[in-house]
Amino acid sequence: MSSASPDKRPKMESALEQLKKHTVVVADTGDFKAIDEYKPQDATTNPSLLLAAAKMPSYQHLLDDAINYGMAKGGSVEEQIENAMDKLFVHFGVEILKQLPGRVSTEVDARLSYDKDGMVAKALKFINMYKEAGISKERVLIKLSSTWEGIQAGRELEEKHGVHCNMTLLFSFAQAVACAEAKVTLASAFVGRIFDWYKENTDRKSFEPHEDPGVLSVTKIYNYYKKFGYSTVVMGASFRNTGQVKALAGCDLLTISPSLLSELSQDHSTVVETLNVEKAKASDLEKVHLDEKTFRWEHNEDRMAVEKLSDGIRKFAADAIKLEAMIKEKILDVKNGK
């Protein structure tokens, strides 16, 4: 009996399919088509992604509906813009949830990053708007900047309101520890932006995946959370290449851009689980506790984290302002009968 010819042999699973066996794959996009193509469990959005999506002709109906909502709510032009923008964020979230089984992350305005009460209020407004659209709060993660104020807003939302939070712009180990102690649902550690900083500020211009500073950061956070039994889960984010993604196979979640999802779907190399609870429990990490004073000092000692957190907040705020300008222009066009 002859063996099967080479072209009849079963094709090796793609790296993406293998990765899904070890890790929850999340799509980092506001583009519904990409979500439909790569079949992630969850999706994450932010002002930058939604600004890009809102410019696409195929999503103009969502923008128009959000503007009508904002105008119908009345108030000053500024209040109408704010309500329209909040509605747009929720509109995208609702549409995304139609295409996946899990959760969507919706981000609170980065300009509130140092205003705990403002973040809590905005988060609860989002949750109420989702409820009006028939979406349970269990399917929504509220994204908050991982400032001290943001982490405490996350603590309050989780404890008092049962609202699940995704702490974003996380670069330092101090931020990660504070998130775990606040018992937030999820912490998003930014692999690619850490990598960018080391490329720009050190003599090293390239790293093998296993020595990549962003990969090492997520690995340490994952091991710490698992070793000490924290409920907070870790999501690697902001990847620059598929090597970084594959080096974190086994992490709780990985949020990946459509371009890298496409590369992974065409990559048939073997993906090996690198992170797991057994390895984490065997690590030599020691438990630490951070009050506000210690958090601020430890975070401040990490130059990379200080610079990338402030830079991330500024960039998300800048894109939120651009989105507001787009909405304002459309509102004024409607008012002027254009």
Burial class from Cβ neighbours inside 10 Å (0-12, 13-18, 19+) for residue 124 reads middle
Domains and CATH numbers, the chain: 15-332 (3.20.20.70)
pLDDT score of 337: 81
C-alpha 211/C-alpha 204 separation (Å) is: 11
pLDDT score of 10: 57
pLDDT score of 115: 98
- The catalytic position among 143, 227, 308, 330 is 143
Token code pair at residue 51: 């600004």
pLDDT score of 1: 46
pLDDT score of 125: 98
Run means of pLDDT, 10 residues per run, the chain, 338 residues: 50 93 95 92 92 91 95 96 97 95 97 98 98 98 98 98 98 98 98 97 95 98 98 98 98 97 97 98 97 98 98 97 95 86
143 is known as an active-site residue: yes
C-alpha 206/C-alpha 13 separation (Å) is: 28
Burial class from Cβ neighbours inside 10 Å (0-12, 13-18, 19+) for residue 265 reads middle
Q: What is the 3-state secondary structure (H, E, C) of 257-291?
A: CHHHHHHHHHCCCCCCCCCCHHHHHCCCCCCCCCC
Per DSSP, the three-state class of 28 is strand
pTM score of the predicted model: 0.93
Residues 85 and 326 sit within 8 Å (Cβ to Cβ): no
Burial class from Cβ neighbours inside 10 Å (0-12, 13-18, 19+) for residue 112 reads buried
Stretch (H or E) spanning 236 = strand 233-237
Stretch (H or E) spanning 292 = helix 292-300
pLDDT score of 12: 85
